[in-house]
C-alpha cells in the first residue's frame, strides 16, 4: 500500500506543496521511504526530533497526517490519500508504531506496584510482567517514557478521529 509524502526545509515551506506517493520500511534504525516515480528518503530514527499530528486543509475534504521534524531542519509530512484501492489508513498506524516502538518497547516501568516491560500491542501499550499482559492507561506511566507513550497514543487518537467523523 502507498502513502503520500512531502518533504521541505523547515525554513521555507512550499506555497503549493506537491505530495509524492511512497512506500516505507524500517532497516535497523533507518526509516526509508521509497518515492515514486524515483527516489528515496532515508534517515535514522534518532534524527526525528518531533512528531506531530497535522490537518492538511489544502485538500477538500481536509486530511489528517503526521509531521516529522528532523534534526537538520527538514520536515516530512506523511498522509494517506483518498483512493481506497491504493491507500490504507492502517499504514499510518504502522508508521507510527515503527517510529515509537524503539522508544517505548522494552522500557522497564512500574504500574500499580507491578514492574514489567512495555510493549506496543496493536494500537495500545501494555505492561508485560511474569505471565501477565496488562493494558495500561497513558497517565499510569511517569517520566520520559510516559511522555512518549502519551504522545504515541494521542497521535493514534488524532488519526482515528478522521475515521470517526466519516461515520
- What CATH number did the domain enclosing 24 receive? 2.30.29.30
Last residue of a domain, one of 87, 118, 142: 87
d(CA 40, CA 156): 26
Over residues 95-116, mean pLDDT: 90
Pair 51, 81 in one domain = yes
Name which of 38-42, 45-49, 141-145 the model is least confident about. Answer: 141-145
Over residues 153-167, mean pLDDT: 77
- pTM confidence score: 0.86
So what's the pLDDT on residue 68? 96
Pair 5, 24 in one domain = yes
Over residues 46-62, mean pLDDT: 92
d(CA 129, CA 140): 15
Give the whole-number percent of the chain exceeding pLDDT 90: 62
Nearest to 153 by CA among 133, 136, 167, 166: 136
Look at the chain and report how many structural domains it folds into: 2
Q: Which three cell numbers stand for residue 5?
A: 509524502
Q: How confident is the model at residue 87 (pLDDT cuts 50, 70, 90)?
A: confident
Last residue of a domain, one of 87, 112, 127: 87
Amino acid at each position: 500500500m502507498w502513502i503520500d509524502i512531502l518533504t521541505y526545509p523547515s525554513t521555507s515551506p512550499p506555497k503549493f506543496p506537491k505530495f509524492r506517493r511512497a512506500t516505507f520500511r524500517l532497516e535497523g534504525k533507518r526509516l526509508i521511504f521509497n518515492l515514486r516515480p524515483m527516489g528515496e528518503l532515508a534517515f535514522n530514527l534518532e534524527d526525528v526530533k518531533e512528531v506531530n499530528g497535522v490537518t492538511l486543509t489544502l485538500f477538500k475534504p481536509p486530511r489528517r497526517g503526521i509531521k516529522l521534524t528532523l534534526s537538520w531542519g527538514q520536515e516530512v509530512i506523511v498522509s494517506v490519500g483518498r483512493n481506497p484501492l491504493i491507500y490504507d489508513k492502517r499504514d499510518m498506524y504502522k508508521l507510527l508504531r515503527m517510529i515509537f516502538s524503539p522508544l517505548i518497547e522494552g522500557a522497564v516501568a512500574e504500574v500499580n506496584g507491578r514492574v514489567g516491560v512495555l510493549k506496543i500491542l496493536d494500537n495500545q501499550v501494555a505492561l508485560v510482567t511474569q505471565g501477565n499482559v496488562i493494558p495500561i492507561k497513558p497517565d499510569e506511566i511517569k517520566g520520559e517514557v510516559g511522555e512518549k507513550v502519551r504522545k504515541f497514543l494521542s497521535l493514534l487518537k488524532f488519526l482515528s478521529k478522521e475515521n470517526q467523523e466519516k461515520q
